[in-house]
């Protein structure tokens, strides 16, 4: 059984709190580990350690920080199989999915390896003879991260490689549901040569999160999670004078134009199912004929999705994370039926031999969903796809722009004009054209609009560098002096 404390000063530390959480294997429901739930005192100890390490790390040249990042990248690559297994055993996703998530996280480390170049700044000669202005980006101090369960390796990696490369020290509070992979990665980061106190992990729940929000030595908080919690994090953190970015919930629409390649559309919808903030959970076919053809193409694909634990190499859909999520998804499905949506594929009735207590739900497909239904309005965060039929392209754009969330969206079409109009007008932070789950590569930035993001900065890429640094602009005058012959007499004031 795994028993996790915290990771501080490059060592495991049990902390002083006597509260713990249980970690479960969602495929069996069995308890596989326990993790400490930090107290306010534990958080204080860890933040103070990070604050003590901050000045020396900020003074370490960016090229030396990059050298450690290169080593960290190599260790992550070398240990990917081991990390993926640990991740899947607590999250439940298939091993290829876990490896893909680690690979996407490694891309951010690769971006951070370029930090000497990324921190280069602007310089202007105001008056070529004497006056110049230039700007620098300086680290903030201690930055904290609070992350969700659904990408337990990748989402923390969106944050701390950039923050640390910029010269900050970092305290990460991962999800209490699947924290083991982060603890192993912390060990690898130490092995890469990171000085003690630069990267720390505090395990915990709301108590630890709030302690970070209230701690005077935490300068900034990156949060990824649900909208209700993100709004709380943003409000509390900014009231306490911290810089906050809170990336939150989503309901991503995929618009299917009449000329779309339906094979690609179904691949996109099936491949993005489940517990992902970039899941394409609403398909919006334009026109009745498109809708009928889409349903016809989707039904066999949804039915054929292989639901199995990660230990089965043919698994395409693992269990959902917890009994609570399982129950919540079932409630939504019943609500959808009560309100008149048509459940054309019902994945509820599924039992896997040997995994009767696991939290498995097969793919579910709802047709004739309307904008007033909770299955349309809320983020279900499970393998439930809703089809909302619309009469025109304008109706599709209206639907997306009126929704509370604005994380991402995509359109599938062969027409350049529709694609161009779509990306220009969609009120979301991320747009895909013939591309599902348009999560940008690490050297671009990721984030939503509307109630999918609180704060000003998107995450990773140059937005990550901006979030994790303060801009300072200097103007200097060097009057002609010793070079042209110094004068030592008092001047007349000119
Ligand atoms: P969650 O909001 O329940 O938890 C996120 C983090 O907040 C966890 O570390 C948790 O311990 C902490 N937390 C929980 N309750 C808290 C409270 N009352 N006060 C302070 N902290 C608290 O989210 P989750 O269920 O782990 O993850 C799923 C959610 O994350 C979905 O809504 C999904 O859309 C969102 N998500 C968003 C993105 C994005 O980029 N926008 C990416 C991944 C996931």
Mapped to the 3 state alphabet, what secondary structure does 301-320 carry? HHHHCCECCCCCCCCCECCC
Let me know if residue 438 belongs to a domain: no
Q: Quick check: 411 and 435 in contact, CB under 8 A?
A: no
Q: Is residue 444 part of a domain?
A: no
> 491 pLDDT exceeds 60?
no
SS (H, E, C) 48-80: HHHHHHHHHHHCCCHHHHHHHHHHHHHHHHHCH
176 CB near ligand 1 (under 6 Å): yes
CB of 148 within 6 A of ligand 1: the answer is yes
> Does residue 65 surpass a pLDDT of 90?
yes
239 vs 131, higher pLDDT:
239
Whole-number Å distance, alpha carbon 65 to ligand 1 midpoint, is: 30
Do β-strands 218-224 and 243-247 pair in parallel, antiparallel, or remain unpaired?
Answer: parallel
Taking only the tens place, the pLDDT of each residue in 155-169 is 999 999 999 999 999
Residue 393 has what pLDDT? Answer: 98
Specify whether 233 is located in the same domain as 269: no
Pick the more confident residue, 480 or 71.
Answer: 71
Give the residue, by CA position, lying nearest to ligand 1 atom 15.
206
Closest C-alpha residue for ligand 1 atom 42:
277
pLDDT in tens, 3-54: 899 999 999 999 999 999 999 999 999 999 999 999 999 999 999 999 999 9
pLDDT on residue 488: 64
End-to-end CA distance of the chain: 78
Closest CA to 177 of 351, 13, 320: 320
Assess if residue 75 is contained within a domain: yes
Has residue 200 got a pLDDT over 90?
Answer: yes
Q: Going by CA atoms, what residue is nearest to atom 38 of ligand 1?
A: 277
Report whether pLDDT(229) > 80.
Answer: yes
Tell me the CA distances in angstroms from 386 to 279, 348, 367, 415, 432, one per residue in order: 12, 15, 6, 25, 19
What pLDDT does residue 278 have?
A: 74
**Statement to judge: residues 8 and 33 lie in one domain:** yes
| Same domain membership, residue 318 and residue 213 | no
Residue 200 shares a structural domain with residue 59 = yes
- The reply to whether 86 and 217 lie within a common domain is yes
Query: How many Å apart are CA 86 and CA 334, to the nearest integer?
Result: 34
The rounded radius of gyration (Å) of the Cα atoms in the chain is: 25
**Residue scoring higher pLDDT (270 or 247):** 247
Q: Is 206 in the pocket of ligand 1 (CB under 6 A)?
A: yes
pLDDT value at residue 459: 96
What is the whole-number distance in angstroms between the Cα of residue 179 and the centre of ligand 1? 13
Per-residue DSSP letter, 317? B
Torsion-angle region of 200 (φ positive above 0: left; ψ -120 to 50: alpha; else: beta): beta
Burial class of residue 411, CB neighbours in 10 A (0-12, 13-18, 19+): buried
Q: What is the bridge-based pairing of β-strands 142-146 and 169-173? A: parallel
What is the CA(421)–ligand 1 centre distance, in A? 33
**Statement to judge: residues 424 and 276 lie in one domain:** yes
Spatial contact of 490 and 151, defined as CB atoms under 8 Å apart:
no
Ligand 1: nearest atom to the Cα of 226: 32
- 203 inside domain: yes
363, pLDDT greater than 80: yes
Mean pLDDT (the chain) is 94
Asked whether 325 lines ligand 1 (CB < 6 A), one says no
Q: pLDDT band for 492, please (50, 70, 90 cuts).
A: low
Q: What is the mean pLDDT of residues 359-375?
A: 96
**Ligand 1, atom nearest to 174 Cα:** 9
Active site residue 277: yes
In a domain? residue 228: yes
**Is residue 493 included in any domain, yes or no?**
no
* Residues, the chain: 494
Q: In angstroms, what is the span from residue 349 Cα to ligand 1's centroid?
A: 28
303 with 231, same domain?
no
Q: Are residues 230 and 110 in the same domain?
A: yes
Q: Report pLDDT digits (tens) over 421-480.
A: 999 999 999 999 999 877 889 999 999 999 999 999 999 999 999 999 999 999 998 887
Range of the domain at 179: 2-248+452-476
Q: Are residues 272 and 208 in the same domain?
A: no
For residue 352, pLDDT over 60 is answered with yes
Structure tokens at 322: 């917890």
Say if CB 361 and CB 382 are below 8 A apart: yes
Q: Complex ipTM, two decimals?
A: 0.99
Same domain, yes or no: 383 and 420: yes
Return the pLDDT at 489.
66
CA of 214 to the centre of ligand 1 (A): 18
Give the residue whose CA is nearest to atom 43 of ligand 1.
277
Place of tokens 């060097």: 478
Which CATH number covers residue 355? 3.40.309.10
Residue 26 and residue 173 in contact, taking contact as beta carbons nearer than 8 Å: no
Same domain? For 352 and 235 the reply is no
Domain with residue 110: its CATH number is: 3.40.605.10
Question: Residue 481: what pLDDT?
Answer: 74
- Residue with CA at minimum distance from ligand 1 atom 14: 206
How far is 129 from 124, CA to CA, in rounded Å? 12
Does residue 300 form part of some domain? yes
Are residues 25 and 173 both part of a single domain?
yes
Please compute the mean of the pLDDT values over residues 202-229 and round it to a whole number.
98
pLDDT classification of 346: cutoffs 50, 70, 90 = very high
pLDDT at 275 over 80: no
- Of the candidates 166, 248, 277, 364, the residue annotated as catalytic is 277
Number of domains in the chain: 2
The answer to whether position 439 is within a domain reads no
């Amino acid at each position: 059984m795994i028993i996790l404390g915290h990771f501080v000063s490059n060592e495991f530390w049990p902390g002083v709190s006597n509260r713990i959480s249980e970690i479960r294997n969602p495929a069996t429901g069995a308890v596989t580990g326990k993790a400490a739930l930090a107290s306010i005192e534990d958080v204080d100890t860890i933040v103070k350690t990070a604050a003590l390490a901050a000045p020396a790390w900020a003074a370490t040249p960016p090229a030396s920080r990059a050298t450690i990042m290169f080593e960290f990248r190599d260790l992550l690559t070398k240990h990917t199989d081991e990390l993926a297994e640990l991740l899947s055993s607590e999250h439940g996703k298939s091993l290829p999915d876990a490896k893909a998530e680690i690979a996407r996280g490694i891309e951010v480390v690769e971006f951070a390896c370029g930090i000497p170049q990324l921190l280069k700044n602007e310089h202007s000669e105001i008056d070529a003879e004497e006056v110049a202005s230039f700007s620098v980006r300086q680290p903030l101090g201690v930055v904290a991260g609070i992350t969700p369960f659904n990408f337990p390796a990748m989402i923390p990696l969106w944050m701390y490689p950039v923050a640390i490369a910029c010269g900050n020290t970092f305290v990460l509070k991962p999800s209490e549901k699947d924290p083991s992979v982060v603890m192993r990665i912390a060990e690898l980061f130490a092995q890469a040569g990171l000085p003690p106190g630069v990267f720390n992990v505090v395990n915990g729940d709301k108590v630890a999160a709030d302690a970070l929000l209230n701690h005077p030595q935490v300068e900034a908080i990156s949060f990824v999670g649900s909208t209700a919690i993100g709004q709380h994090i943003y409000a509390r953190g900014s009231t306490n004078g911290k810089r906050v970015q809170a990336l939150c919930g989503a309901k991503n629409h995929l618009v299917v134009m009449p000329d779309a390649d339906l094979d690609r559309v179904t691949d996109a919808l099936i491949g993005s199912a489940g517990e992902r903030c970039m899941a394409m959970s609403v398909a919006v076919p334009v026109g009745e004929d498109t809708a009928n053809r889409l349903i016809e193409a989707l039904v066999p694909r949804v039915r054929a999705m292989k639901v199995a634990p990660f230990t089965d190499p043919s698994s395409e859909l693992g269990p959902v994370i917890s009994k609570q999520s399982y129950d919540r998804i079932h409630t939504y499905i019943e609500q959808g039926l009560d309100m008149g949506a048509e459940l054309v594929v019902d994945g509820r009735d599924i039992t896997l031999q040997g995994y009767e207590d696991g939290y498995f739900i097969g793919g579910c497909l709802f047709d004739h969903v309307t904008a007033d239904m909770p299955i349309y309005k809320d983020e279900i965060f499970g393998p439930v796809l809703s089809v909302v039929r619309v009469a025109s392209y304008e109706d599709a754009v209206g639907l997306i722009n009126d929704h509370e969330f604005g994380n991402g969206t995509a359109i599938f079409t062969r027409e350049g004009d529709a694609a161009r109009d779509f990306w220009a007008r969609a009120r979301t932070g991320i747009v895909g054209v013939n591309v599902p789950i348009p999560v940008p590569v690490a050297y671009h930035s990721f984030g939503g609009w509307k109630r999918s993001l609180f704060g000003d900065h998107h995450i990773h890429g140059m937005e990550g560098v901006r979030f994790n640094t303060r801009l300072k602009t200097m103007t200097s005058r060097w009057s002609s002096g010793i070079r042209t012959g110094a004068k030592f007499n008092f001047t007349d004031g000119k």
